[in-house]
Chains A and B, each alone.
Chain A
């Protein structure tokens, strides 16, 4: 401890920041549970326990103090994000594996808290979707909330043909990418059973839940408006332009913004301060690039959602973005190159 000024400290801590992030996830999680059942909570629990065990082991191996780092809440945030990006009926070991990748590889092998250049949860997601593409896209049909059957899927024998169904994003792309189907966006989105009114049945409400929590984070000054605004704005603009050019081929902004992980990404993933840009202009560029890549991967790629890959690609660019967007210092404004 230092005996130099300032002697006053605001009672802020990493722990409080992380707990606020967890709290802000709750509205989205609540809606998620409503549509997809309590398996969501089971996945979160598996991920949380794994995260704490992995964190403890890694801290012990790295000879770091256990108490301040275990209680900082950062491992839990990572664990929850991993759990929320998995299908609720994914086998239990998938969550365990994902969290291990996130905590051990993406976080501690890069130097632990504050040192990871990539978003740990997204590293985990990418690893899992490359290794187990099928398991990662088996989402239960909305309304399949039978807890017993879900637990059977998570812990026991998987016989899911009856209940599995593609996510709206996946379903739309599959339909559009199949030439003989001759599908159009409006045709596909018209089937309300899957697609609800805008972003997919259930999905649009979950997105609004995350939006609510995210806005609270902005109000609490845990995150700034830059990243969510630039992300949602760019995603909306890209999809708007494309849908105007060819409405049969490209879904519009409302769909893209309210489906998949867009809201979760905008407020909770892209805003990870460690792996993201930190300057105000840098945040705008970072989030805009992220949104553009997300849209491209969603529309032209082969994966269910593009946020994870886009995040990792943009994480690589962070040092460059930050370096070239340093804000003007007091008194040096207008002289910047």
Chain B
């Protein structure tokens, strides 16, 4: 048995898992129109490869990677591209973004799928395939997985950690996936470990999911893989990447460093499953498991195509009449969807319907009494009340000195605050303000450089012109001296004046 390390802080909200993890997985019906956003992964948005009127097959790439940290996007079904339109996407801002809109033809016809033997191909080839299959982290951040399998010269990946902790209340899609697809998950994990060069795989699952632990353990034994399945104590946010790495290995990955700096890398169980589908079955990422739960009559887990309107998905679970908000993600880190028109994307792990009764409005916000509850609850060992103080006063530099950017926005501080201060809101505000200012400063520095360069150039041109004029004057003088005649002098001056006028006229082309 592996020794566990634990982490400081954390909270234990009611888990609400049983509502949605009792039934099986329901396949959501194919909607008539699918809206597939071009920005689905962390990093750069994908670059569209189709245009209005194109016929596409299920699994056909409709967008390619838009940069080095970007992946491909695929048609979730066969049909016709209606166009690339701006459309609401699931984002706290409620802003529109470009999406490929596909009208399904109902045939759901696959493009030719090419499964590969991953152990027969070079790892670079596997990474490219992973990228071109659109595999991103399915835990919520949607970071391109192929990038995470690489490591720099000073880094190494020895241990691959598979994150099945699923610490957020209400969400059970990883639980269900582990119960039903443990073998595929481990196959995918083995491939990821192979690509990353890791020798060990450790699976971390919160101990409130005994069925998942049992299924994964059994699958590991069947496959004869050297996989360790570890039940970790249930405490939010045990499923945070940094916390899970700490619990399983004792390693603390600070802000500014990456897990490979310490010999580990972490993937979500659903990502491992998607890897298996992509490489072993040739099926790109076109659907995922989504938990729909909360204030609904029939909570459960659904296999949903990317691009399905969230409103359609929600209807399957029959939301109750008093539902007043719908979250994407869990109650601790999710966000309220500004509109249900937005589609399901790769990062959608849960749609949580909420009501006033489920999420009662906290009492009035009171001043901070420095009680330190937030510091005790913080899994990153921060002093949230100090960061709050400076963020609220917009003294952003000081907030940064108190390690603002180490904050993982898990929400534990806000959860425990007896003064009901929305601490995380202040941290999100301060972080995005600092990022925006850094960008502004960069732009200002670039502008200053370009301006100084221009001044320099103008100065140089002036000098060159002066030098030219001086040379010419000297030449004229010499000519004059040679001629010595008054008439010649006059002729020369007349010629010069004519030249000057000519020049002047040339300088103002097309003004009249």
Contacts and interface: CB of A to CB of B under 8 A. Distances in A.
B131 to A, nearest CB: 29
A75 B92 CA distance: 40
> Interface of chain B, helix or strand or loop or mixed?
loop
A278 B382 contact: no
B402 to A, nearest CB: 7
A178 interface: no
Nearest to B256: A331
B367 A114 contact: yes
Interface in A253-303: 273-274, 278-279
A115 B367 contact: yes
Contact of A330 (B252, B363, B415): B252
B424 A6 contact: yes
Contacts of B363: 13, 68
A74 to B, nearest CB: 8
A218 interface: no
Contact of A331 (B13, B169, B254, B371): B254
B458 interface: no
B252 A326 contact: no
B336 A4 contact: yes
Given A4-B425, A9-B414, A332-B403, A327 B11 contact: no
A16 to B, nearest CB: 7
B420 interface: yes
Interface stretch (B354-362, B443-451, B495-503): B354-362
Contact of B424 (A5, A65, A224, A326): A5
A5 B332 contact: yes
A5 B335 contact: yes
Interface in B305-348: 325, 327, 329, 331-336
A274 B370 CA distance: 5
Contact of B370 (A1, A114, A327): A114
Contacts of A69: 366
B417 interface: yes
A237 to B, nearest CB: 26
Given A6-B411, A8-B331, A12-B417, A114 B368 contact: yes
Nearest to A69: B366
Interface string A1-40: 1111111111011101100000000000000000000000
Given A1-B361, A273-B369, 11 more contacts: A5-B424, A8-B169, A9-B417, A10-B13, A10-B416, A12-B417, A13-B420, A17-B371, A114-B367, A278-B372, A327-B383
17 contacts: A5-B327, A5-B331, A5-B332, A5-B409, A6-B415, A7-B332, A8-B359, A12-B416, A13-B418, A14-B369, A68-B364, A114-B366, A273-B372, A274-B370, A278-B372, A279-B383, A331-B257
Q: Which 4 A-B pairs have the closest CB atoms?
A: A331-B254, A6-B411, A114-B367, A331-B252
